[in-house]
Amino acid sequence: MSTYTAAFTVEAPIEAVAEFHRDTRALKKLSPPPMVVQLHRVDPMAEGSVSEFTLWLGPIPIHWRAVHSQVGPTGFTDTQERGPLAFWRHTHRFLALTDGETQVQDRIEYQYHAGIKGILSRLLFSKPGLTALFTYRKWATRRALEEKS
């Protein structure tokens, strides 16, 4: 099992950060080009809520179904029920540093499929790929929340 962690601060209160991440449109806002997200089902964030979507990387569709748990005012976890990896659990945590500054913490536990089935996921969800994704997410989160201030 591999683990990836990332953290950054955003100049926004924890309530605004949590609200931004609970928004059913958040995945689209947090996905970098050239990745295109096609949402099929996105339940409002709650314990047991489901998100079903396709990530398009050019002509390559990556189908995903995630279930949310540990949903609360300081974060949530999404666990892949169906998707490109053998296992994926992403824990989002929000920590108030001050009234107007929040740290966003991400922890991903993941495992690739064996053999040829895991080749694409090894390329897309490698540490460099995840670093690029979360660098974009940091920028997108700050842009969305700090512009409102």
Comparing 74 with 149, the larger pLDDT belongs to: 74
Q: Would you state the pLDDT for residue 149?
A: 53
**Which letter does DSSP use for residue 124 in this model?**
H
Tell me the mean pLDDT in the region 44-63. 94
The alpha helices in 1-51, defined as continuous H runs, are 14-22, 26-29
Q: Give the separation between CA 25 and CA 33, rounded to whole angstroms.
A: 16
Q: How much of the chain exceeds pLDDT 90, in percent? A: 86
Per-residue pLDDT of 12-37, as tens digits, reads: 999 999 999 999 899 999 999 989 99
DSSP class of 115: G
Domain boundaries, the chain: 2-146
- Asked if residue 109 has pLDDT above 70, the reply is yes
Work out the average pLDDT over 115-133.
90
pLDDT score recorded for residue 124: 84
List the end-to-end C-alpha distance of the chain, in Å, as a whole number. Answer: 40
The CATH number assigned to the domain with range 2-146 reads 3.30.530.20
pLDDT at 104 over 70: yes
pLDDT tens digit sequence for 71-94? 999 999 999 999 999 999 999 999
pLDDT, averaged across the chain: 94
Strand 60-72: give its sheet, edge to edge: 2-10, 101-111, 87-98, 75-82, 60-72, 50-57, 35-42
pTM of the complete model: 0.93
